[in-house]
Amino acid sequence: GAGVSQTPSNKVTEKGKYVELRCDPISGHTALYWYRQSLGQGPEFLIYFQGTGAADDSGLPNDRFFAVRPEGSVSTLKIQRTERGDSAVYLCASSWDSYNEQFFGPGTRLTVL
């Protein structure tokens, strides 16, 4: 079956612009995670959704970052007023619930010039 998909695969933007990153989880998975991976680092937890609600957003670095999952399926990570330090690979993962294996997407590489 189809795995987790993320679009776009690459995004280049200018400092100060707004970007949206999309994640399509595996059908039926209720748990969805966003991570950020900078060069040479492991994935850094950003936010966790259980269904439609953000069960834990403690990893979001500041109020420029926001994520939604309005219908409990597709999720969008939104970054306002992008900064060069936001450049990273943004990973999405989904699972049946928070205690099960996470399936990762291919990531979106964000470059802020």
Partner 1 sequence: AQRVTQPEKLLSVFKGAPVELKCNYSYSGSPELFWYVQYSRQRLQLLLRHISRESIKGFTADLNKGETSFHLKKPFAQEEDSAMYYCALSYDTGNQFYFGTGTSLTVIP
Q: Which of 1, 2, 28, 40 binds partner 1 (CB under 8 A)?
A: 40
Residue number with CB closer to partner 1 (19 or 60) = 60
The b/e string for 21-55 (b: 16+ C-beta within 10 A; e otherwise) is: bebbbbeebbbbbbbbeeeeeebeebbbbeeeebe
Task: Determine if 55 is a binding residue for partner 1 (CB under 8 A).
Answer: yes
Q: Does 10 bind partner 1 (CB under 8 A)?
A: no
**Which of 26, 48, 65, 108 is close enough to bind partner 1 by CB under 8 A?**
48
In sequence order, what E strands does 10-107 have? 10-13, 19-24, 31-37, 44-50, 53-56, 65-68, 75-79, 88-95, 103-104
Specify the residue, 13 or 45, whose C-beta has the smaller distance to partner 1: 45
Residue 100's SS3 state is coil
- Written as six digits, the tokens of 74 are 């597709």
Binds partner 1 (CB under 8 A): choice among 1, 28, 42, 70: 42
Q: Enumerate binding residues for partner 1 (CB under 8 A).
A: 3, 31, 33, 35, 40-45, 48, 55-56, 58-59, 91, 93, 97-99, 101-107
